[in-house]
Amino acid sequence: MKAYTYSAQELGLQALPQGLLRLTGAEAVSDPRQADVFVVPVMMMHVGMEALQRLPYLHQYPERHVLMNIGEWMGQALGLPAIMFRCDTTQTLLARDPTALAWPWPVEDLGAWADRPFARDVTFQGWVSTGLTDTVCDAVLATPSLTTHIQRHKFFYGYEDESQPSTQALRRTFLETLASSRLSLVARSIPEGVVRYRFYEALSMGRIPVHFCDGRVLPFADRIDYDVCSVHIPEADAPRAGEVIAAWLADRSDAEIRERGAYGRAMWARWLDSRKWPELMAEVVKEKLA
């Protein structure tokens, strides 16, 4: 596979930022006529819609362009059949950009915590940005049979500047409570229905996320059996979340829960780990071009 990578000048930038999109094993070419794919090496939000539309080869070879979006371009469609790796992929976005590909948020490897013993049934520590999260948390807290740790924050991600002792303490609490819980509550955090970071953190640690996100589109859904390693509850049933979770736990032993978590951890390591993205993206692009 031969790849033409756009320069900073072609992208309208003074320099390329870090976190570049790369395709492992692709042969770099400077002549676009030789290229199998055209790589936009920065996130779409760093370039902007107008600059993207001005790329010299985009409209000539739209289906052979490779782009990525992590972050602030939520729900904005490109309107071209490019190969787009998007952490913000939803069913609504796919209706406008059918060639967008669901991609995981980048989370750290939490496998070192996987063997911690269970101390409770359910945990949530994170940002409350929509009423859905409060509804789910309140329903769980109202269920006497469930043991819980619920810690709600008014800022993104549950911890911010990790150089501060207060946020280091929050981070430690998050990891310890996730590691010692059977299930992790993962209600969508914005109205668009984007899959939450907490979903992938749970998988990275070998814990089972309980997902409330009707508009979700999960990455590598043809290779990962998410019914094994996660629980999805329709958003309409959020007021009954505690009842549904209690029934799910009553039917499963800790041994089965750990087995399911181990599967999720293995799938995260194979398909979702951000350290493998360049090779995973190359693998997917080759399949799309075949």
Per-residue pLDDT of the chain (290 residues; tens, 9 = 90+): 999 999 999 998 888 877 678 999 999 999 999 999 999 999 888 888 888 889 999 999 999 999 999 877 888 898 999 999 999 999 999 999 999 999 999 999 999 999 999 999 999 998 888 899 999 999 999 999 999 999 998 766 555 566 778 778 888 899 999 999 999 999 998 887 889 999 999 999 999 999 999 999 999 999 999 999 999 999 999 999 999 999 999 999 999 999 999 999 999 999 999 999 999 999 999 999 98
Per-chain mean pLDDT for the chain? 92
Q: What is the pLDDT of residues 61-118, one digit of tens each?
A: 999 999 999 877 888 898 999 999 999 999 999 999 999 999 999 999 999 999 999 9
Q: What is the pLDDT of residue 227?
A: 97
In contact, 186 and 198? CB cutoff 8 Å: yes
Please give the backbone phi and psi of residue 35, each rounded to the nearest 5 degrees, phi first: -80, 135
- Give the pLDDT of residue 76: 87
Provide φ and ψ at 42, rounded to 5°.
Answer: -115, 165
* C-alpha separations of 32 from 6, 26, 29, 157 in Å: 10, 14, 7, 41
Taking residue 156's Cβ as centre, other Cβ atoms within 10 Å add up to 12
Could you give the percent of the chain with pLDDT greater than 90?
A: 76
Does the pTM surpass 0.85? The reply is yes
Domains and CATH numbers, the chain: 2-105+275-289 (no CATH), 111-272 (3.40.50.2000)
Q: Answer whether 153's CB lies under 8 Å from 53's CB.
A: no
